[in-house]
Amino acid sequence: MKQFLLVFLGGGFGSIIRYYISKTLNPYYSNFYLGTFLVNIIGCLLIGLLIGLSLKQNYLTQNQTLLLATGFCGGFTTFSTFALEGNLLFKESSFLYASLYMGLSVAIGILAISLGIYISKML
C-alpha cells in the first residue's frame, strides 16, 4: 500500500507542475506547444537521471524511485497531451509545425534520457 501512495503523491505533484508550466507557456506560442514540449523534454532528462541513479548500487531506494521516476515523472510528462496537440496542429493544417513539434519531441526526448543516464554515471 505504501508503494501506491508514493506513486500517487509523486504523480500529483508532477501533474500540478506540468499544468502550471503548460498553462503559462502554451498560450504564447500558438503554432508550437512550448510548455508541453519543455515538460516532456525536462521529464525525459529527469527520468534518465533518476533511472541512472537507481541503477547505481544503493544510490536510490526502490521507494525513492517509485516516488520520483514512476510517480513524479509519470505525472509530469504527458504523452496523451502531446498526441492531442499534434492532432490539433494537423487539423489546423499546420503540417510543418506539427511535424517539428512531434519529431523534435521524440528525438530530443530520447537524447535527453540518454544525457540523464550519462550524467548520473558521473555523479
Provide the annotated binding site for Na(+).
74, 77
Length of the chain measured in residues: 123
Q: For residue 123, what is its C-alpha cell?
A: 555523479
CB 44 within 8 A of CB 109: yes
CB 86 within 8 A of CB 101: yes
Instruction: Please report, to the nearest 10 degrees, the dihedral formed by the alpha carbons of residues 85, 16, 35, 68 taken in order.
Output: -100
Name the 3-class secondary structure at 41: helix
Query: Which residues fall in the annotated binding site?
Result: 74, 77
Of residues 104, 113, 114, 108, the one with CA closest to residue 33: 104
